[in-house]
C-alpha cells in the first residue's frame, strides 16, 4: 500500500510493504501529519518502522518533529550530502533522534533498502559526496519496486537534478507512478525527464488554493503530453494505491 497523504502544501508518503514494514517518506510541515496518517496505520500496530526525509525543507520534515514523540523508528534516513546552510530546526530534529537512540543513516545513489517479499527501495539520486547550496537540488530521488510495478519519488528535485538522473539511468527511470517534483512547480518536471519516466499516473501533493499557485499549468501540460493521468491531493485528499506486483489499483482516483 502506498498513500500520498494530504498534508496541504507539503509532501508525505506512507508505504506499507508486502512484508508489513511501515515507512514514512517525508512528513509534511507540522503535527497535522498525525491525524492524516492515523487512518492508514493498523489498529494494533501503530508504530512506523522507518522515517525517510527527501531533503531538509520544513514542508517535508516538519511533521517528524512531532512524530518522534509518538513513534520509535528503527532508523532515520537522509541523503548523504553536504548542505551549505542546514536549517536550525532540522538540526534539532537530528539531535532529538540521536538522543532517543535512533540510528541515522545517510544514503546515496546505489543504496537499496530491502523491504521483503520482493519489494525494495532504490536510491537513484544524489550521488555521494555532493555539496549543495540549493536544498531542492539535494532531494532524494528513489524508486519503489514490487514485481512488475514501480513508484518514483522525487522530493523537490529541480531540472538540474532531473537532467542528471536521466544521464545516469536513462530509460530505467520509466515507472508506473510518479510523485511529481516540488508540488507541480515549474522548477521541476523537466520535459526530458517526464518523457523518459513516461508515468501512467502522476501524483501532485499540494495544498488547496496555495499561495504558490501549484501546480503550474506548464507542468500539467507536460504531464498531459505524455499521457499521464494527473492526480492531486488538492482535489482528492489522500490518494491510496495498492499493488500485488502485477497491477496497481487506485482506490479514490475518481475514474
**What distance in Å separates the CA atoms of residue 32 and residue 67, rounded to the nearest whole number?**
10
**What distance in Å separates the CA atoms of residue 217 and residue 215, rounded to the nearest whole number?**
6
pTM above 0.85, yes or no: yes
Model pLDDT, residue 84 = 80
Q: Could you give the C-alpha distances from 41 to 45, 158, 201, in angstroms and in order?
A: 7, 32, 24
Burial (CB count within 10 angstroms: exposed 0-12, middle 13-18, buried 19+), residue 102: middle
CA torsion, ordered 25, 92, 33, 55, to nearest 10 deg: -30
Model pLDDT, residue 21 = 95
Model pLDDT, residue 255 = 54
Of 17, 9, 146, 155, give the one whose Cα is nearest residue 79.
Answer: 155
Q: C-alpha angle with apex 218: 141 to 52, nearest 5 degrees?
A: 20
Q: Is the dihedral of CA 229, 235, 236, 238 positive or negative?
A: positive
Cell digits for 22? Answer: 511501515
Would residue 16 be called left, alpha or beta, if left means φ above 0 and alpha means ψ between -120 and 50 degrees?
beta
**Mean pLDDT per 10-residue interval, the chain, length 255 residues:** 98 97 97 92 82 98 94 95 91 96 97 97 95 94 98 98 97 97 98 98 98 98 98 97 97 76
Model pLDDT, residue 45 = 73
Pairing of strands 201-204, 177-179: parallel
Q: What is the 3-state secondary structure (H, E, C) of 163-199?
A: HHHHHHHHHHHCCCEEECHHHHCCCCCCHHHHHHHCC
* Domain range 2-250, CATH architecture: 4-Layer Sandwich (3.60)
Q: Could you give the C-alpha distances from 44 to 20, 35, 40, 232, in angstroms and in order?
A: 13, 17, 12, 30
Q: Could you give the C-alpha distances from 20 to 157, 214, 253, in angstroms and in order?
A: 29, 34, 24
Cell digits for 166? Answer: 536521466
Model pLDDT, residue 85 = 85
Amino acid at each position: 500500500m502506498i498513500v500520498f497523504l494530504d498534508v496541504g502544501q507539503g509532501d508525505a508518503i506512507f508505504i506499507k510493504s508486502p512484508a508489513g514494514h511501515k515507512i514514512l517518506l517525508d512528513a509534511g510541515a507540522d503535527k497535522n501529519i498525525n491525524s492524516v496518517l492515523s487512518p492508514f496505520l493498523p489498529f494494533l500496530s501503530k508504530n512506523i518502522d522507518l522515517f525517510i526525509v527527501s531533503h531538509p525543507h520544513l514542508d517535508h520534515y516538519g511533521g517528524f518533529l512531532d512524530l518522534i514523540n509518538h513513534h520509535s523508528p528503527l532508523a532515520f534516513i537522509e541523503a548523504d550530502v553536504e548542505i551549505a546552510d542546514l536549517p536550525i530546526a532540522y538540526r534539532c530534529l537530528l539531535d532529538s533522534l540521536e538522543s532517543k537512540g535512533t540510528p541515522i543513516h545517510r544514503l546515496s545513489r546505489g543504496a537499496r533498502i530491502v523491504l521483503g517479499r520482493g519489494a525494495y527501495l532504490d536510491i537513484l539520486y544524489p550521488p555521494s559526496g555532493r555539496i549543495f547550496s540549493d536544498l531542492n537540488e539535494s532531494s532524494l530521488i528513489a524508486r519503489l519496486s514490487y514485481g512488475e510495478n514501480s513508484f518514483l519519488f522525487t522530493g523537490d528535485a529541480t531540472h538540474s537534478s532531473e537532467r542528471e538522473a536521466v544521464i545516469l539511468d536513462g530509460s530505467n527511470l520509466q515507472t508506473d507512478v510518479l510523485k511529481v517534483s516540488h508540488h507541480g512547480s515549474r522548477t521541476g518536471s523537466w520535459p526530458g525527464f517526464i518523457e523518459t519516466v513516461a508515468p501512467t499516473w502522476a501524483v501532485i501533493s499540494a495544498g488547496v488554493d496555495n499561495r504558490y499557485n501549484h501546480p503550474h499549468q506548464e507542468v500539467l501540460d507536460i504531464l498531459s503530453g505524455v499521457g499521464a493521468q494527473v492526480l492531486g491531493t488538492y482535489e482528492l485528499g489522500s490518494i491510496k494505491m495498492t499493488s500485488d506486483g502485477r497491477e496497481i489499483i487506485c482506490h479514490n482516483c475518481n475514474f
